[in-house]
Amino acid sequence: MGRYLNQAKIEEISTITQLPLTIIPYDEQQMPSDFRTARSSLSVDKPVFARPLGEDKIAGYTMLKDIYGNPALVMRADMPRNIYDQGKVTMRYFFASLLLIGLVFGGMNVLLLKRSVLSPMAVLSKNVSKIGKNRNLSERVKTAGDDELQNLACDINNMLGSLEESRKELQKSEEKNRALVNAIPDLLFQLAKDGTILNYNAIKNSQQRDLPLDFSGKNIYELIPAEMNQISASYLHRALETGNLQIFEFGLNSNGIKYEYEARYVANGKDEVIAIVRNITERKCAEEKLKQTLENLARTNTELEQFAHLAAHDLQEPLRMVTKYLQLLESQYKGKFDQNADEYIAFASYGARRLQNMLDHMLQYSRINTRGRPFEMTDCNTVLDLVLNDLKVNLDESRAVITHDPLPVVFGDPSQLAELFRNLAGNAIKFRLDDPPRVHIAFEKKENEFVFSVKDNGIGFEMSQAYRLFKMFQRLHGEKYPGIGMGLATCRKIVERHSGRIWAESEVGKGSTFYFTLPAR
């Protein structure tokens, strides 16, 4: 909808606004320069343009359109500069008022914040600092009100309660550990890397009477002989560098008595070492006594072996003479005396032969350690083949069958290993039931040793009698079976010379299994 604009209407608008108005057609050719400038600056996006016309007046321009929406007129409104300046002053006062109100409001907020938040926070901080400075976890922060600060204070009190409980538990644990450490009869030191004693246990053991009980301010090197200081320092530094346990021994003289000590260093972090000093005087004495006892025992065993060897060897000649003359008596005078005399001569001859057999076995037994051959790599299959060939007559007579798994190569004395297999296989054939003997020899590798087994289907024995098996002249089955009870004792002696063990398992009427071990290389 459009309206008709004439000079009267323009004056009416000017009267209402109290501003001089000037209107010029948009396409006027003789348009004043200020209107031309305004026309070039006006557009749909910028419908108003203002510019000063001097020091006392400012003009505002706008574009008026016709009913078809096309630019038709350019209108200018003149306004004195004092009104403009007054408006600028008014705006300054307005913004100044806003700033003042903001400052007042901000100050009030700060005061309110200080009263409601900062002051309680300062009090809370002071209380917490006081508790921290006094290290008294039983104290509590004072609480009042029902806001976030109150909740924070409650949380701090709960935290203090938890810390107090934790500290009590820690104190109990430390007291328990300290009691345990103090109960140890060894000296425990916490050392700096230069050897300074930082802490130690409250040792009051009489074994440490040659050492001081107060180590405060001392150095570990003051407790050991001066000539051991360099060695001790090297072990301490090595413990720190490697983290491995370091052990060395030293002695102390006190009142003419020498005490032996063992020191152990283990790293405790990068700059500290835990040292454990133990009095080993009694242990050293016990070790020395044990060493002397073992030496005496070894000497005694050697003397016994020599005695058994000499006895068995030296008795051979007199026994041969007795046996020879008994045989002469039996051959030349048998039947010339009464029946009792013949029996007496027969008993004497049997006893002499039996004694000769026992001396032969004793001599062989005594030579196991002294006359054994040097150890060498030995194929047990070859050794067993030789043994089976030696037992061929017994195998044929008893219809025995001996089988074996492939056996290993071991480091030992071939002749003694042959004697070992011969005795075990011979016993399996000797102590048989009515059925033909069946013997199987096997082995199993376990860690660093071979475990051999010789299993038979013979008469077996009571396991309660197993302790007698490997003793000299022990016969579980009496005179029913031939022998003098030296075979298994010889086996034990051979196995022990080879650093092995021997034992047996059995059940009466169901056969036996003999086990022995040899080192594996």
Q: Taking a C-beta distance cutoff of 8 angstroms, is the pair 72, 25 a contact?
A: yes
Residue 202 has pLDDT above 70, yes or no: no
Looking at residue 179, its amino acid is A
Residue 453 has pLDDT above 90, yes or no: yes
pLDDT of residue 188: 80
Among 33-47, 218-232, 339-353, 501-515, the minimum mean pLDDT is found in: 339-353
* Residue of higher predicted confidence among 187 and 177: 187
Q: Does domain 287-365 have CATH number 3.40.50?
A: no
Q: Taking a C-beta distance cutoff of 8 angstroms, is the pair 381, 406 a contact?
A: yes
pLDDT of residue 428: 92
Give the domain ranges of the chain. 1-125, 184-279, 287-365, 372-519
Between CA 324 and CA 344 the distance in angstroms is 16
Looking at residue 93, its amino acid is Y
Residue with tokens 């109960």: 183
Residue 424 has pLDDT above 90, yes or no: yes
Query: If you average pLDDT over every residue of the chain, what do you get?
Result: 79
Q: Report CA 43 to chain centroid distance, whole Å.
A: 87
DSSP-assigned letters across all residues of 28-88: -TT--HHHHHHHHH--SS--EEEEE-SSSEEEEEEEEE-TTS-EEEEEEEEEEHHHHHHHH
Residue in 300, 296, 310 with CA at minimum distance from that of residue 367? 310
Given its phi and psi angles, is residue 47 left (phi above 0), alpha (psi -120 to 50 degrees) or beta?
A: alpha
Prediction pTM value:
0.44
pLDDT of residue 76: 81
Length of the chain, in residues: 521
pLDDT of residue 440: 96
**φ/ψ (deg, to 5) at 335:** 85, -5
**φ/ψ (deg, to 5) at 437:** -65, 140
Residue in 423, 388, 393 with CA at minimum distance from that of residue 514? 423
Looking at residue 157, its amino acid is N
* Residue of higher predicted confidence among 388 and 68: 388
Superfamily the domain 184-279 falls into: PAS domain (3.30.450.20)
SS3 content of the chain, % helix, strand, coil (to 5): 50, 20, 25
Once rounded to an integer, what is the mean pLDDT over residues 24-42? 80
Pick the CATH number of 372-519 from 3.30.1360.120, 2.120.10.30, 3.30.565.10, 3.30.420.40: 3.30.565.10
**Domain 184-279 shares a fold with domain 372-519:** no
> In Å, what is the CA distance from 47 to each residue of 31, 84, 241?
19, 20, 88
